Amino acid sequence: MESFIEAAIEANQTIAALLRDNKDDALFYPAKEGDDGIGYGGDRSLRIDLIAEDIFIERLSRFGRVNSEERGPFGEGEDEIVIDPIDGSANIASGIPYYGSAVALKRNGKPICSVTCNLANDECFIKSPSDRYRRGLFSAEKKPISRALRPLAGIFEKAYSHPKSVAAMRKNGLKFRSPGALALSLAYARDARFALAMGRSREYDIIGGLHLCDDLHIFTSEKLIIVSADFVVFERLKSIFIEDESEH
């Protein structure tokens, strides 16, 4: 697994350097105009999305067949590499420092290794069959993935699309932020009071984060994800949303 992890780190280092040194707004233009500019995952692809995807493919395709948000599945191999090359590209283009990438190595249909990287602050979250840790993008020192002592707010991705759910959260006194990069937000679920996402989520966005958080309390369905280290908060969120999931 170490070779896969290091290859993923190297890809992220290349992308981070590109973003840091870039002075060309064209990186954030649509890759193509019209309907054919929509990537395999359903979002409009920006040029930076495709460039980052190529960097990951170059580094990781030797480990198995690739399934990427922009290009979809291709290649050969017993294992599968699921890639979200840029998580939160709209944040980058808007000057919001919350964006990254997520890759996961699947074997027999299940993730066995994942690397999620916050490219805005160079923090990486890694889980392998034998380890779970943080490290810097440019520093190999491992740090434990520990929880904030008393997190005061959770993360509610896609809250802007669910005003009834926002009202329910306010009524129950649950503070949250909605930073706009689901893969990263799942990686930070341990630090926050909870991580919540509503609406359809794609495998590219969630596989790495859920793999990293598999020791926390997790509920997933077609249109709802709840993750929390706090069982009481987890149960409260379930009671708020699960029965009325289709209405929120």
* % of the chain with per-residue pLDDT over 90: 71
Based on the fold, state whether residues 16 and 135 are members of the same structural domain: yes
Gap between the Cα atoms of 15 and 17, Å rounded: 5
What domain range includes position 125?
2-143
CA atoms within 13 A on the CB side of 162: 23
**What number of residues does the chain have?**
248
What is the pLDDT averaged over residues 199-216? Answer: 93
Q: Is the pLDDT of residue 197 over 50?
A: yes
Both tokens of residue 63? 């480990």
Q: pLDDT tens-digit profile of 161-172?
A: 999 999 999 999
What is the pLDDT, as a whole number, of residue 150? 84
Answer whether residue 149 is part of any domain: no
What is the pLDDT averaged over residues 215-237? Answer: 95
- What's CA 85's distance to the chain center, in Å? 10
Based on the fold, state whether residues 16 and 134 are members of the same structural domain: yes
Answer whether residue 148 is part of any domain: no
Based on the fold, state whether residues 162 and 243 are members of the same structural domain: yes
Total domain count, the chain: 2
- φ, ψ dihedrals at 94, nearest 5°: -100, 5
pLDDT, greater one: 247 or 198: 198
Place 187 in a pLDDT band, splitting at 50, 70 and 90: very high
Confidence (pTM): 0.88
Place 246 in a pLDDT band, splitting at 50, 70 and 90: very low
Both tokens of residue 22? 């870039």
Contact by Cβ (8 Å): 122, 114: no
Based on the fold, state whether residues 159 and 225 are members of the same structural domain: yes
Based on the fold, state whether residues 136 and 176 are members of the same structural domain: no
